[in-house]
Amino acid sequence: MLHISRTELIINPDNSVYHLGIKPREVSETIITVGDPDRIDNFLPHFSSVEMDLSRREFRTVTGICNHKRLTVISTGIGTDNVDIVLNELDALFNVDFTTRLPKEKLTSLTIIRVGTSGTIQNDIPIGSFIVSAAAIGLDGLMHSYERDNFAAREWERDLIAFAKMQEFPLQPYITFANSQALNTFLPHGFQPGITVTANGFYAPQGRQIRAKAAFPNLIEKLSHFHRSTFRVTNLEMETAGIYGLAEVLGHKAISLNAILANRVTGEFADNPTAVVDELIAKTLAVVTS
């Protein structure tokens, strides 16, 4: 087996992983990810007890009991660069022996649930809707750094590049998929399935123009017309494709749940975004802990 060097996986003197600062056995096998560390406070009223609440950089980790189930909620910060850190270090906590620096013979498959905010690019999806991402289009480039063997993804990628005329796009898109079991678990609970676009920024990468001009101003409009099977492109955010891709290569089960706060077609934004997010949190926890 491959010995993992001290520079490949950095372990702190207290036996915690380098960036997250958490140790083995401090995290549940069911993990909810959010972007904003302050959003974890919205989960805490649902917990009957908290065994750990640790903050380091933009990463905050809380483990506790919700409806008799042990859960961990962790903030990733914004973007797939942070997702790369979080998912690899969470995986190491379960699947690497920190003493021998060898992968464990028996691997643990985690359940990872993203609870995040998003904007829709379809005019018929109202503010306050909840979308579950059946698949994700990555415009960020993260998964080009990992070996993948997914024929369905390659087929989708070829079709998407041809459809949206993205041959000259500086970073070619990649496709990742939700865990089918997790997808089917959330669909009966008022979640609309769709294809989520994961951008590598908030402004021009999502077609916004304030003073700096976007190099591909019509990209989002083109993507809004792409569909496969019964799924169409529904929304934009900045983490889902990376979460799905890393879950795939590491052997974990991932699902992304999106609260729609903005409609990019109609120009609407939620009057009370906190209330929408709180409703998504309550709905998510009810499903996860049932």
Q: What is the pLDDT of residue 72?
A: 98
Average pLDDT over residues 74-88: 97
pLDDT bin (cut points 50, 70, 90) of residue 129 is: very high
Give CA–CA dist 33/288, Å, rounded.
13
Give CA–CA dist 272/49, Å, rounded.
28
Q: What is the pLDDT of residue 1?
A: 62
pLDDT above 70 (res 23): yes
On whether the CB atoms of residues 188 and 130 are closer than 8 A, the answer is: no
Look at residues 27, 224, 246, 18 and name the one whose alpha carbon lies nearest to residue 148. Answer: 246
Give CA–CA dist 132/248, Å, rounded.
17
Average pLDDT over residues 246-254: 97
Give the residues across from 130 on adjacent strands: 259
Look at residues 36, 84, 92 and name the one whose alpha carbon lies nearest to residue 59. Answer: 36
Q: What is the DSSP letter of 191?
A: P
User: Is 11 within the bounds of a domain?
Assistant: no
Backbone angles phi, psi at 42, to 5 degrees: -70, -20
Give CA–CA dist 72/113, Å, rounded.
10
Average pLDDT over residues 180-189: 95
Of 118-132, 162-176, 236-250, the one with minimum mean pLDDT is 162-176
pLDDT bin (cut points 50, 70, 90) of residue 250 is: very high
User: Is 17 within the bounds of a domain?
Assistant: no
pLDDT above 70 (res 145): yes
Alpha-carbon torsion, ordered 25, 26, 31, 37, to 10 deg = -160
Burial of 281 (0-12, 13-18, 19+ CB in 10 A): buried
The number of folded domains in the chain is 1
User: Is 22 within the bounds of a domain?
Assistant: no
Look at residues 37, 48, 22 and name the one whose alpha carbon lies nearest to residue 285. Answer: 48
Q: For position 122, which CATH number holds?
A: 3.40.50.1580
Share of the chain residues as helix, strand and coil, in percent rounded to the nearest 5: 30, 30, 40
Residue 74's domain comprises 30-288
User: Is 74 within the bounds of a domain?
Assistant: yes
Provide, rounded to the nearest whole percent, the portion of the chain with pLDDT above 90: 84
Look at residues 211, 199, 191 and name the one whose alpha carbon lies nearest to residue 174. Answer: 199
User: Is 25 within the bounds of a domain?
Assistant: no
Q: What is the pLDDT of residue 10?
A: 96
User: Is 169 within the bounds of a domain?
Assistant: yes
Q: In the structure encoding, which two tokens stand for residue 17, read together?
A: 């992983």
